[in-house]
Amino acid sequence: MKLNDKVAVVTGGANGIGRALCQRFAAEGARGVAVADLDGERAAALAQQIGGIAVTTDVSREGDIVKLVARATEAYGAIDLFCSNAGIGTPGGDDEPNDVWQRIWEVNVMAHIYAARAVIPGMLARGEGYIVATASAAGLLAQIGSAPYSVTKHAAVAFAEWLSITHGDAGIKVSCLCPQGVNTDLLRRSAGGPGEFLRANALEPEAVAEAVVKAIDEERFLILPHPEVEEYFRRKATDYDRWLRGMRRLQASFKAG
């Protein structure tokens, strides 16, 4: 899909990857870009910069996403591209409190489901539309030190796969973005060995946006801005036990350091 003259909505659009996506879509000639973010002030500043609209949105609330879709449609007409990009991270394991698990589940998983409910009926009626779900390499591999992040990002990948399988023959295109470290606030706040490991090879958000635009143009499902992730994923698939042993060694090296 070419982005020229298209209408795009980006959640988590005021910061990091989302900000870079909004800027790049505008540069590609999008007819309208809706910047959706919990930080309404930063969303408004970016929207003014790129000639879009800002919609303050808490993606964990289905009603907010319904209002976002309605606002974007009112401003620009049918939505061609919905980037379900907002996400959060947290360290910890199975002993994290239930409210921590619930919050990250709502943002990293349910928000994708709410977005699909809101935009897919219209896309199906038109016989076309595009959804980009931001997950993570952690959704294909794992995130050492964060069970909630690993679990929810795996779920985000699985839902994107399901959307593609279920609606792909009806004109709905789906891509799933799975980067490793990206130079955003989320990565900068991460502590310990895993955070240092990811920061060592972090990409700038603009490089990720470039990979997304290329994948949309090719209508390719899996977007891997870090090409090494494909090899890691292949190794995992071909010898799961060996991959697990390797991940345990990596985890031990973090602890030793």
- Per-residue b or e along 4-15, where b marks 16 or more CB atoms closer than 10 Å to that residue's CB: eebbbbbbbbbb
Q: Are the beta carbons of 199 and 179 closer than 8 angstroms?
A: no
Query: Burial letters for 33-45: b for 16+ Cβ neighbours within 10 Å, e otherwise?
Result: bbbbbbbeebbbe
DSSP 49-86: HHT-EEEE--TTSHHHHHHHHHHHHHHHSS-SEEEE--
Which entry of 114, 149, 232, 240 is annotated as an active-site residue? 149
CA 227, chain centre distance (Å): 17
Name 240's Cβ contacts closer than 8 Å, sequence gap at least 6.
none
Largest CA distance in the chain: 56
Q: Are 30 and 110 in contact (CB under 8 A)?
A: no
Instruction: Provide the token pair at 20.
Output: 């870079």
d(CA 15, CA 42): 8
Contact 68, 124 (CB under 8 A): no
Query: Backbone phi, then psi, for 181, in 5-degree steps?
Result: -70, 130
Catalytic, 76? Answer: no
What residues are annotated to the active site?
149
